[in-house]
């Protein structure tokens, strides 16, 4: 079955030096009959204007360490793709370059025309976190996550949701995947497919974790501020989710 004419562009975040990852994604695309657009990722080891969004003081106080270069590159790359989504005025799908695409990925693309217009964003992988079935479109079910599903392996995004993410991303403190889950801040709900249609490719090592050493000591006060920040995030998750937990959802 051919893909709908309205199929969103499939952007793959890829550093030019990561040729093996690019080739892996290209092989998968050919086998599934897909066309990919490779988006040149930001190298976090080189200066970039977007790194001015980093709030270094809050980052160290709340997380106990600065951003790693891979985290910065990831943040900036996704930020630029959100801008592109707004500029294009149409939904996009963002994919990392170290993933495996399920054959059902094509089925998802065929089902997207049935997706309600109010859904602006959802993860394409199945996070190992508590969730509740929220909405069905075609043969797929979107789940509402009660905790962050982690990672940015792949996601669907509309211009409206992208604009909301951009509007509240003036100061970077959390990693980008954690920021994307702060629904109480930017108004983009934390949704995802279960089962997912993408997963991590274990043949590739994370460029974010490469060279990661032991966490630096933060001292007693640093521990208090870090744990206090974590507790505050958990409280915001709980308060945001409470009305939805008490309300029945139909699928």
- Domain with 198 in it: what CATH number? 3.90.550
Is pLDDT of 211 > 50? no
The predicted-structure confidence for 53-77, as pLDDT tens digits, reads as follows: 999 999 988 888 899 999 999 999 9
Above pLDDT 90, what percent of the chain? 69
The predicted-structure confidence for 213-234, as pLDDT tens digits, reads as follows: 555 555 665 666 767 777 778 7
Task: With respect to residue 5, please indicate whether it lies within any of the assigned structural domains.
Answer: no
How does residue 200 score in pLDDT terms, banded at 50, 70 and 90?
very high
Output the DSSP codes for 219-231.
HHHHHHHHHHHHH
Mean pLDDT of 135-140: 93
Task: With respect to residue 45, please indicate whether it lies within any of the assigned structural domains.
Answer: yes
Rounded Cα distance, 158 and 8, in Å? 10
Task: With respect to residue 144, please indicate whether it lies within any of the assigned structural domains.
Answer: yes
Mean pLDDT of 20-43: 97
Mean pLDDT of 147-160: 93
Task: With respect to residue 251, please indicate whether it lies within any of the assigned structural domains.
Answer: no
Task: With respect to residue 112, please indicate whether it lies within any of the assigned structural domains.
Answer: yes
Task: With respect to residue 60, please indicate whether it lies within any of the assigned structural domains.
Answer: yes
Q: Which domain holds residue 103?
A: 10-206+217-246
Residue 167 CB-half CA count within 13 A: 13
Q: How many domains does the chain contain in total?
A: 1
The model carries a pTM of 0.89
Mean pLDDT of 195-220: 68
Lowest mean per-residue pLDDT among 141-145, 155-159, 244-248 = 244-248
The predicted-structure confidence for 114-133, as pLDDT tens digits, reads as follows: 999 999 999 999 988 889 99
Is pLDDT of 79 > 90? yes
Find where tokens 């980093």 sit: 54
Cα torsion angle, 146, 151, 154, 158, sign = positive
Rounded Cα distance, 119 and 115, in Å? 7
How does residue 207 score in pLDDT terms, banded at 50, 70 and 90?
low
């Amino acid at each position: 079955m051919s893909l709908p004419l309205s199929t969103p562009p499939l952007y793959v975040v890829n550093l030019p030096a990561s040729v093996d990852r690019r080739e892996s994604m290209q092989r998968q695309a050919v086998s599934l009959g897909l066309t990919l657009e490779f988006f040149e990722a930001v190298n976090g080891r080189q200066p970039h204007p977007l790194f001015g969004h980093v709030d270094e003081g809050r980052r160290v106080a709340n997380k106990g360490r600065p951003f790693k270069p891979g985290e910065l590159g990831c943040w900036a790359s996704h930020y630029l793709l959100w801008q592109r989504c707004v500029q294009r005025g149409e939904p996009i799908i963002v994919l990392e370059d170290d993933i495996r695409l399920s054959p059902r990925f094509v089925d998802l693309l065929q089902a997207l025309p049935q997706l309600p217009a109010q859904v602006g964003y959802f993860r394409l992988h199945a996070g190992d976190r508590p969730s509740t079935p929220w909405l069905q479109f075609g043969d797929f079910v979107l789940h509402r996550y009660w905790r962050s599903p982690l990672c940015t392996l792949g996601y669907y995004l509309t211009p409206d949701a992208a604009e909301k993410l951009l509007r509240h991303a003036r100061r970077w403190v959390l990693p980008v995947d954690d920021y994307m889950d702060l629904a109480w801040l930017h108004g983009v709900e934390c949704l995802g497919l279960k089962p997912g249609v993408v997963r991590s490719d274990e043949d590739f090592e994370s460029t974010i974790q490469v060279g990661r050493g032991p966490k630096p000591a933060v001292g007693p006060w640093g521990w208090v501020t870090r744990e206090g920040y974590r507790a505050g995030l958990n409280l915001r998750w709980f308060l945001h989710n409470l009305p939805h937990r008490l309300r029945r959802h139909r699928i």
